[in-house]
Chain A
Amino acid sequence: MKSRTRIPTTPLLMILPSFLLAMSIIGYPILDLAWTSMQEVSRFGKMMGFVGLVNFAEVFRDPLFYSSLVRTVIWTVAVVGGTLIISLPIAIMLNDDFYGRGLARVIVMLPWAISLTMTAVLWRWSLNGRAGLINATLMDFHIITEPIEWLATAPLAFTVEILVGILVSIPFTTTIFLGGLSSLPQDSYEAAVVDGAKPWELFRYITLPLMKPFINIAIVLNVIYVFNSLPIIWVMTEGGPANGTDILVTYLYKLAFRFGQLGKASAISLIMFSVLFVFTIAYVLMVMRQEHDSADEEVKHDA
């Protein structure tokens, strides 16, 4: 007699409707995109016939695609990295009890309530060479004598855009960290203080390891948001001058809605989707293996 494992049909049946719903909402656009990317598409979205991988071949022949890809990586790493480095200390400070903490938290969170596009427009005005607030302030304080044209050359413009990117990512990331900090067990700190641990040691050996899952979530979510973020760069420079600040998503937008190359644009967005998909899976696997390893280590120590 073979022993049969009983498949629990009832629970599976019960999650089936929501699973199907989720798949159709998430899956359909991706399938549609994949289908579009293998078609010749007219300027106005009419399918003109199946062309196979011609759109992809065109993308891979395009030098602007590669420079945008490299810039996307720089943009994502710099913005996400910068955000994490700044947000963690802010969250730790806001987690401490001090007079006016509520107000301080509101001030840090407030920029979140303003749309990215509006923030970008404000920065564009502030950074204007002749009429901008930034140059006026710097000149009033005699830090500079001549106005700086912040957005005139690509390297400077891109740096400024990264800084703005960091600024707008801070509220969200700080919120994740604050949630994490408030759930940390207080007794480990008390025990460590009794054992004579210094503040830095508390941070390095208790806060940081315990915060790991929250940092990981912040990394994954921020990478996804920042990688796909159009408004800041689009509003401030439209990817210019001379395509020097184009990242994939701004280049994609230009292709789709200015040049009307919807097929090529679909191919690029499919490539972007796979890059993000591979990154997320790889990162999650890596994190899971680390946790697994450290769990193993603990077992060994115990033995």
Chain B
Amino acid sequence: MIPAAFDYVRAGSAAEAIQLIGQYGDEAKFLAGGHSLVPAMKLRLAQPTVLVDIGRVSDLSYIRDGGDHIAIGALTRHMDVEKSPVLAEHVPLLAHAAGHVGDPQVRHRGTIGGSLAHADPASDLPATTLALGATYVAEGPNGTREIAAADFYQGYFTSALAPDEMLTEIRVPKMGGAGWSFQKFNRRAQDWAIVGVAAWQRGSECGVGLVNMASTPVLASSVAAAIAGGASAADAAEAAAAEADPQADLNASVEYRVHLAKVLTRRALQAAAG
């Protein structure tokens, strides 16, 4: 498990990180918690020639009340998201989902921004923030821009971020007391979900995000439409896979994934309503 040779530079600020990534070009990668990138490098599936370490850009680690939303710095560790009293009060679904990422070691090292920017459809937080209608803030050489979570994910490990852009903040609307549920189905506790469902519901309004049901995290809009139209949780859940395009792997056939998505969506909606 020896990665290919690479150079290492450490950025002291977001601006410096962006300047460095621009300087080194396509072969450079940001290194935050390293819990997705480093394993890929050890298997030589990723061979960046330069790592720009942003792990010590401490002013990007925060959780702040932004009025109608909570703002989370991109370098906030999963464990801090999980344990945040602010999130527990205003966005409990996200805090709970963060507690299901990997294992405690991973949660102490891995960052929310790293997880989202990695754009792995099997990760818990992309689908969760998608369900919550989050907005991401990216900073590049030309300043900052906001990207809706719904527009961010473009394919396996592919996001709307430009190569010289860096995710700096995640803005998650307050849930306003909505019911919620996070259903993570896997074979071992520390694994990626075979299928996961993040859901919230407040009256006839709901949001449902699916983990590992396509090349991107999936917003189950048809479920939300059915609930808005007065359907029961069980009936609405039948539409869970309408926007999905799952693949088979060692853990699940396509048919099983579709079935699981429906079952878990129903359970999530019932739990959120209950």
Tell whether A and B belong to one assembly. no
